[in-house]
Amino acid sequence: MQLFDLKNVNYLYLNRIHALNDISLSIEQGEHIAILGANGSGKSTLLKLLDGLIFPSSGIVKAFGKTLTENILDGEGGDFPRFFRKKVGLIFQNSEAQLFCPTVLDEIKFGPLQLDIAKTDINQRINDVMGMLNIENLKDRAPYTLSGGEKKKVAIASVLSINPDVLLLDEPTNGLDPRTQRWLVELLIELRKIGKTIIIATHDLEIVEEVSERAVVFNEDHRIVADGKAKVILNDTALLMGVNLIHEHSHRHIEKSKLTF
Residues that bind another protein (CB under 8 A): 48, 51, 53, 75, 81-82, 85-86, 89-90, 92, 94, 96-98, 100-103, 106, 109-111, 113-116, 119, 122, 140, 142-145, 158-159, 162
**Strands 58-63 vs 2-13: parallel, antiparallel or unpaired:** antiparallel
Is residue 12 within 8 Å of 18, Cβ to Cβ? yes
Whole-angstrom CA distances from 54 to 27, 49, 57, 61, 202 are 18, 5, 9, 11, 20
Q: In this complex, which beta carbon is closest to another protein, that of residue 106 or of residue 204?
A: 106
Q: In this complex, which beta carbon is closest to another protein, that of residue 130 or of residue 224?
A: 130
Q: What whole-number distance in Å separates Cα of residue 91 and Cα of residue 155? A: 7
The CB-of-9 to another protein minimum distance in angstroms stands at 18
Q: In this complex, which beta carbon is closest to another protein, that of residue 35 or of residue 208?
A: 35
Q: In this complex, which beta carbon is closest to another protein, that of residue 7 or of residue 87?
A: 87
The CB-of-165 to another protein minimum distance in angstroms stands at 15
Q: Is the Cα torsion angle 60, 61, 64, 69 positive or negative in sign? A: negative
Is residue 60 within 8 Å of 8, Cβ to Cβ? yes
The CB-of-187 to another protein minimum distance in angstroms stands at 19
The CB-of-213 to another protein minimum distance in angstroms stands at 25
Q: In this complex, which beta carbon is closest to another protein, that of residue 78 or of residue 256?
A: 78
Strand, helix or coil for residue 15? coil
